[in-house]
């Protein structure tokens, strides 16, 4: 089939099953946009390229499919950079197309030329500069394959305008030819057996799950392993939903703003089974004091993650789902041989911690952001897809909105990108049109990509944006309060001056609601949820509320500060589950 380069790109996208792309056109991608005009692929015009790639990212996280975005050369491409880095850190499958100046102009500092493959080299899983139209089908097929297999990640394809205009014979290979790319899926048999024995012999095990479980669709296996073997489970921010948070074995999130009981459990454990996690510094606290008494089993598809930060006793390279399946079977087979210790004392200890140190906050005084998230959780019965911005709002969302299923909590983990939540929620809504999608936002973050409110209205995406408006770059202010003597340098957003979020919402055609008092919270949430279109709610909350508990940067994990310890009964008791057995 004889096609132009641009038509071959569109044909390839159709062959990959792409249903939607997010982007903004410009000179050198006009041939591609022209070809898209005749395609069934939905073409969503965002208001900024960063919006396009975060939307593709949210779409990918919510659906498990590859997100696709497109931008023009030069400034269009550089506007994608934050989103590429974001997807790279959180292992999100994205294929990003960028236009490039014509091949004979490359290297001449032509109009809107930027070295896009050079700029993005450290933040992609792989990238391509396509030199000939005839390379396009192979390159695109490879790009999708690389993006979604192994440890997923972003792949960028830079297409010079003459390549889009050129012609080729379109042919699609059965499978892409990638001699240097062979991810390991099956775990090493002997290692799995050793891991199984360790699990059966441990007295204080903790199963520690992350984003890799969600990428590998392994939450059913995690649950089975945990339930069969009575393993308490803690998760990272990226692992939220990998194991039901309302399950009595759940310890909630660990780390800097994790629960006391999760962090204590990690510190006291004699065995940590990490699955699809990176042991990053927000999780481990002071590395030299991290889980000193524990053996570590680490299951990950990326061999480079194993032993990178924390010493590992049993490394298992492989796909989480495949390895866990084997592990479950092996543990079962060996159970009779092993005289497993009684886990009841361990569960009793955890139960006591849960009773003694529940997540808590003081409800008195001005409107509290935690209360809003709690109410939202109750009213939606935990059924919404939650996207977050970055900062305090993100941590409160993760602490107080429990999540029982994978792909329903979407947050910028590794990069911590303010402005991610709003466009990500658009993408999630596109991918999951029947679901309720909510962006729990901060007043600072949301202003970084607020132009996408137009996209929400025009594309009829009924997202609900709940701004926990504290008038500050709150997380920054919190650190300044705690570690810089309350010198709030450059962190006050002056909400009483600008913006008026309700008017902003209305200007874009959304419904806008303002809430200042406790008793307005529930009606406002109900009103927002029952409105058919997109809604923005401006919750004017306490300015100086902090996220607690907190492990100060550089402190060991057990050293948590800030939460109220006594008397527990008086302050919003989070009911601890009865211990098992």
Partner 1 sequence: MQHTLSVLVENKPGVLARVAELFARRGFNIESLAVGTTDRPDISRMTIVVDVADKSFEQVRKQLHKLINIIEITDLEPQRAVERELMLIKIKVKKESRSEVIEVVDIFRGKIIDVSKDSIIVEVTGSSEKLRAFEDLVRQYGIKELARTGRVALSRG
From the list 71, 118, 119, the residue with the least C-alpha distance to 94 is 71
Closer residue to ligand TPP in complex, CB, 53/68: 53
Q: How far is CA 481 from the centre of its chain?
A: 28
Tokens of 328: 């479950």
Of 17, 180, 365, 490, the one binding partner 1 by CB under 8 A: 180
CA atoms of 407 and 238, how far apart (whole Å): 10
Contact region with ligand TPP (CB under 6 A), list: 289-297, 429-437, 438-446, 571-579: 438-446
Closer residue to ligand TPP in complex, CB, 299/468: 468
- Interacting positions 258-317 with Mg ion (CB under 5 A): none
Using CB under 6 A as the binding rule, whether residue 392 contacts ligand TPP is answered as yes
Of 178, 458, 492, 561, the one binding partner 1 by CB under 8 A: 178
HSE-up of residue 46 (Cα within 13 Å, Cβ side): 30
Of 1, 75, 108, 121, the one binding partner 1 by CB under 8 A: 121
Closer residue to ligand TPP in complex, CB, 207/390: 390
Q: How far is the CB of 543 from ligand TPP (least distance, A)?
A: 9
Of 307, 553, 554, 573, the one binding partner 1 by CB under 8 A: 307
Using CB under 6 A as the binding rule, whether residue 442 contacts ligand TPP is answered as yes
Q: How far is the CB of 493 from ligand TPP (least distance, A)?
A: 7
- Interacting positions 122-141 with partner 1 (CB under 8 A): 122, 125-126, 129, 131
Contact region with Mg ion (CB under 5 A), list: 22-30, 431-439, 442-450, 558-566: 442-450
CA atoms of 474 and 493, how far apart (whole Å): 9
Of 241, 252, 318, 442, the one binding Mg ion by CB under 5 A: 442
Contact region with ligand TPP (CB under 6 A), list: 100-108, 120-128, 206-214, 439-447: 439-447
Per the CB < 8 A criterion, the answer to whether 418 and 444 are in contact is yes
Distances (CA, A) of 554 to 282, 378, 575: 9, 35, 31
Closer residue to ligand TPP in complex, CB, 144/472: 472
Tokens of 544: 């100086």
Q: How far is the CB of 115 from partner 1 (least distance, A)?
A: 10
Using CB under 6 A as the binding rule, whether residue 417 contacts ligand TPP is answered as yes
Cβ-based neighbour number of residue 118 at 10 Å: 11
Tokens of 338: 């092993």
**Paired strand residues for 253:** 235
Using CB under 6 A as the binding rule, whether residue 393 contacts ligand TPP is answered as yes
Q: Which does 118 bind (CB under 5 to 8 A by kind): partner 1, Mg ion, ligand TPP, none?
A: partner 1
Q: What is the DSSP string of 239-284?
A: TTTSS-TTSTTEEEE-STTS-HHHHHHHHH-SEEEEES----HHHH
Q: Enumerate residues 6+ apart whose C-beta is below 8 A from 48.
A: 24, 79, 449, 451, 452
Contact region with ligand TPP (CB under 6 A), list: 45-53, 124-132, 384-392, 498-506: 384-392
Q: Enumerate residues 6+ apart whose C-beta is below 8 A from 7.
A: 35
Q: Enumerate residues 6+ apart whose C-beta is below 8 A from 380.
A: 436, 438, 529
Q: How far is the CB of 126 from ligand TPP (least distance, A)?
A: 25
The residue written with tokens 């800030």 in the block is 562
Coil, strand or helix at 423 = helix
Residue ranges binding ligand TPP (CB under 6 A): 389-393, 416-418, 442-445, 468, 470, 472-476
**Contact positions toward partner 1, by CB under 8 A?**
117-118, 121-122, 125-126, 129, 131, 146, 178-181, 302-304, 307-308
């Amino acid at each position: 089939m004889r096609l132009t380069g641009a038509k071959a790109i569109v044909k390839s996208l159709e062959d990959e099953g792409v249903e939607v792309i997010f982007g903004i056109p410009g000179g050198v991608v006009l041939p591609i946009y022209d070809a898209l005009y005749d395609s069934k692929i939905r073409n969503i015009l965002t208001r900024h390229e960063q919006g396009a790639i975060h939307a593709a990212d949210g779409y990918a996280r919510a659906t498990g499919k590859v997100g696709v975005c497109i931008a023009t050369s030069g400034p269009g491409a550089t506007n994608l950079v934050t989103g590429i880095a974001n997807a790279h850190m959180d292992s999100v499958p994205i294929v990003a197309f960028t236009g490039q100046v014509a091949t004979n102009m490359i290297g001449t500092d032509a109009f809107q030329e930027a070295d896009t493959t050079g700029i993005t080299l450290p933040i992609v899983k792989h990238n391509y500069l396509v030199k000939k139209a005839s390379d396009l089908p192979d390159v695109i097929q490879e790009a999708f394959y690389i993006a979604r297999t192994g440890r997923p990640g972003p792949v960028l394809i830079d297409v010079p305008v003459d390549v889009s205009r050129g012609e080729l014979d379109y042919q699609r290979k059965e499978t892409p030819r990638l001699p240097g790319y062979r991810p390991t899926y099956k775990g090493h048999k002997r290692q799995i057996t050793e891991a199984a024995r360790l699990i059966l012999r441990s007295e204080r095990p903790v199963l520690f799950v992350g984003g890799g479980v969600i990428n590998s669709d392994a939450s059913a296996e995690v649950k089975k392993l945990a339930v069969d073997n009575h393993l308490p489970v803690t998760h990272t921010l990226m692992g939220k939903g990998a194991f039901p948070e309302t399950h009595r074995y759940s310890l909630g999130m660990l780390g800097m703003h994790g629960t006391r009981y999760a962090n204590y459990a990690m510190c006291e454990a004699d065995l940590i089974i990490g699955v699809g996690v990176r042991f990053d510094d927000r999780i481990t606290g002071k590395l030299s004091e991290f889980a000193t008494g524990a053996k570590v089993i680490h299951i990950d598809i990326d061999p480079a993650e194993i032993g990178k930060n924390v010493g590992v006793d049993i490394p298992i390279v492989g796909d989480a789902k495949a390895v866990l399946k084997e592990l479950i079977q092996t543990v079962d087979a060996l159970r009779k041989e092993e005289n497993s210790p009684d886990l009841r004392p361990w569960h009793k200890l955890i139960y006591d911690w849960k009773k003694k140190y529940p997540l808590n906050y003081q409800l008195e005084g001005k409107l509290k952001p935690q209360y809003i998230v709690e109410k939202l959780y109750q009213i939606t019965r935990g059924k919404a897809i939650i996207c977050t911005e970055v900062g305090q709002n993100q941590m409160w969302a993760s602490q107080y909105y429990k999540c029982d299923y994978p792909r329903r909590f979407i947050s910028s983990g590794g990069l911590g990108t303010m402005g991610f939540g709003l466009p990500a929620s658009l993408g999630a809504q596109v991918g999951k049109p029947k679901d309720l999608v909510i962006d729990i936002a901060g007043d600072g973050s949301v202003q970084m990509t607020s132009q996408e409110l137009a996209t929400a209205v025009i594309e009829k995406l009924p997202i609900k944006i709940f701004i926990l408006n504290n008038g500050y770059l709150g997380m920054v202010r919190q650190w300044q309060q705690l570690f810089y003597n309350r010198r709030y340098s450059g962190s006050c957003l002056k909400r009483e001056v600008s913006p008026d979020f309700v008017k902003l919402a209305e200007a874009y055609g959304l419904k806008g609601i303002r809430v200042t008092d406790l008793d307005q919270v529930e009606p406002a949430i109900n009103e927002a949820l029952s409105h058919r279109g997109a809604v923005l709610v401006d919750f004017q909350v306490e300015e100086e509320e902090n996220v607690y508990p907190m492990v100060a940067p550089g402190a060991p994990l057990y050293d948590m500060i800030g939460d109220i310890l006594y008397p527990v009964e008086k302050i919003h008791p989070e009911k601890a589950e009865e211990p098992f057995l």
